[in-house]
C-alpha cells in the first residue's frame, strides 16, 4: 500500500481556477505538508470546450489519477458517462481492479455501495448532509470506518481556511480493499460523484 494511505487524516484542497475546465486537487497531511494530488486525465479539447459552454459533465467519462509525493500513480478512478446514478471504477497504481463505488439512490440523502473486484459488498458511503459535506463510510456490518467532513479539529487551521478544503478521516480498522475504496471514494466525491448536482438529486 502507498504511504499516502497510511495516513489516518488527509486534507483535500481544490485548486482555484477562473474557469474550471479540468479538475485538480492537492492532498495534504494534518500538518499542512503536501503528500499527493488528484488530477483529471485524458480530457480532449472537445470535452474542455463543452465544459466551457455547458454543464454536460454527466454525459462524459471522467478519468482521475491519485498520485503520491513522488508523483507515482497510486490510484486510478474512472466514472463512466451517467444518466441519473454515478458509478466509479477503482484500480490501483498498476491498473489492477480494486472495486467500485456505485450510487444506490438518486433522491434524498445519497448513498453509495462499496463493492470489491468481484462485486462483493464491502460497505457503503452515506451522505448525512450533502450541502454541508458530511459523509460516513461504513463496512458491511454497518460499523463506521471513515468520515469526510469540513471540520478542522486537530488541524493547523491557519493552513486550511478556504471552503474548497475538506477532511478525510479513515480508521485503522479499515484495511485491505475497503481501506483503498474509503480513500478513493472520499478523494473523488467532488470530482467523480458530485460532478453534476442535478444527477445526484
- Grid coordinates of 17: 481556477
Tens digits of pLDDT across the chain (201 residues):
578 888 998 888 866 554 444 567 889 988 889 999 988 887 544 544 444 444 545 556 778 899 999 999 999 999 877 666 778 999 999 999 999 999 888 777 888 999 999 999 999 999 887 665 788 999 999 999 999 887 766 666 666 655 567 888 999 989 999 999 998 887 777 665 655 443 333
Q: Note the CATH architecture for domain 3-200.
A: Beta Barrel (2.40)
**How is the chain split into domains, by residue range?**
3-200
Amino acid at each position: 500500500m502507498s504511504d499516502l494511505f497510511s495516513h489516518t487524516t488527509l486534507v483535500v484542497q481544490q485548486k482555484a481556477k477562473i474557469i474550471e475546465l479540468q479538475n485538480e486537487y492537492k492532498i495534504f497531511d494534518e500538518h499542512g505538508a503536501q503528500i499527493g494530488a488528484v488530477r483529471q486525465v485524458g480530457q480532449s479539447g472537445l470535452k474542455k470546450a463543452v465544459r466551457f459552454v455547458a454543464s454536460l459533465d454527466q454525459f462524459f467519462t471522467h478519468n482521475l489519477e491519485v498520485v503520491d509525493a513522488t508523483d507515482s500513480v497510486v490510484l486510478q478512478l474512472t466514472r463512466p458517462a451517467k444518466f441519473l446514478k454515478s458509478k466509479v471504477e477503482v484500480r490501483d497504481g498498476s491498473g489492477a481492479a480494486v472495486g467500485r463505488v456505485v450510487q444506490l439512490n438518486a433522491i434524498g440523502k445519497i448513498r453509495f455501495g462499496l463493492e470489491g473486484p468481484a462485486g462483493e459488498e464491502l460497505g457503503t458511503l452515506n451522505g448525512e448532509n450533502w450541502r454541508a459535506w458530511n459523509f460516513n463510510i461504513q463496512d458491511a456490518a454497518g460499523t463506521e470506518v471513515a468520515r469526510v467532513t469540513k471540520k478542522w479539529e486537530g488541524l493547523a487551521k491557519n493552513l486550511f481556511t478556504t471552503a474548497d478544503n475538506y477532511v478525510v478521516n479513515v480508521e485503522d480498522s479499515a484495511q485491505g480493499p475497503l481501506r483503498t475504496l474509503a480513500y478513493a471514494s472520499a478523494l473523488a466525491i467532488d470530482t467523480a460523484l458530485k460532478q453534476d448536482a442535478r444527477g445526484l438529486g
